[in-house]
Chain A
Amino acid sequence: DTAVSQTPKYLVTQMGNDKSIKCEQNLGHDTMYWYKQDSKKFLKIMFSYNNKELIINETVPNRFSPKSPDKAHLNLHINSLELGDSAVYFCASSRRTGGNTIYFGEGSWLTVV
């Protein structure tokens, strides 16, 4: 069973569209994250949720809206997609916040054309 699973794996969409990426973890972790990896492979945190509550928001444009219906799920909705949003988005989870190992999903490749 996949520990952190996210869908879709690949997404190609036009500028201006709205899209969502879903994430689920079956590790029983309290904390979930969204990371963005750019074309130079640099990984940067976007959001962190602990037990459905937002705890980290790294000055991400408000076109990005995470939603956590329960602590096992953290979805990412993106409005009005721009070319610069093209990247790989990784969902991740950890047992709790602070000083814990983070486990990543396989990534969602978003291409905005």
Chain B
Amino acid sequence: GESVGLHLPTLSVQEGDNSIINCAYSNSASDYFIWYKQESGKGPQFIIDIRSNMDKRQGQRVTVLLNKTVKHLSLQIAATQPGDSAVYFCAETFTGANSKLTFGKGITLSVRP
């Protein structure tokens, strides 16, 4: 079946460093991708999205890169802060009626002071 997965279950970074969280997807029909951040005791929070007609999209301190050739998605966080500590999920879907948003397994980002 189709799946969305993350390469690493945990990531530990030093405060101030850049973080890169990677995600592989396998549904070639997916054309819309979202990164979510989930803090402890809270719901998933939208961070940034990208559609398949783009390779890169930037937000505030975050950048998402999409490589459709190898079905790879990454989230880059610049100058990682303690408040960035959370579980991060990539999710994929396609622009069709009644399509589902499928989540990856999640990766924990831990920021060392």
Contacts and interface: CB of A to CB of B under 8 A. Distances in A.
B49 A106 contact: no
A5 to B, nearest CB: 10
B87 A98 contact: no
B101 interface: yes
Contacts, number: 62
Interface stretch (B15-23, B59-67, B69-77, B92-100): B92-100
Instruction: Give chain B's interface secondary structure class.
Output: loop
A43 B89 contact: yes
B68 interface: no
The interface size bin for chain A is: 20 to 34
A68 B62 CA distance: 36
A106 B42 contact: yes
B32 to A, nearest CB: 5
15 contacts: A41-B87, A42-B103, A42-B106, A43-B89, A44-B103, A45-B100, A55-B98, A97-B97, A98-B95, A98-B99, A99-B32, A99-B96, A102-B101, A104-B45, A106-B43
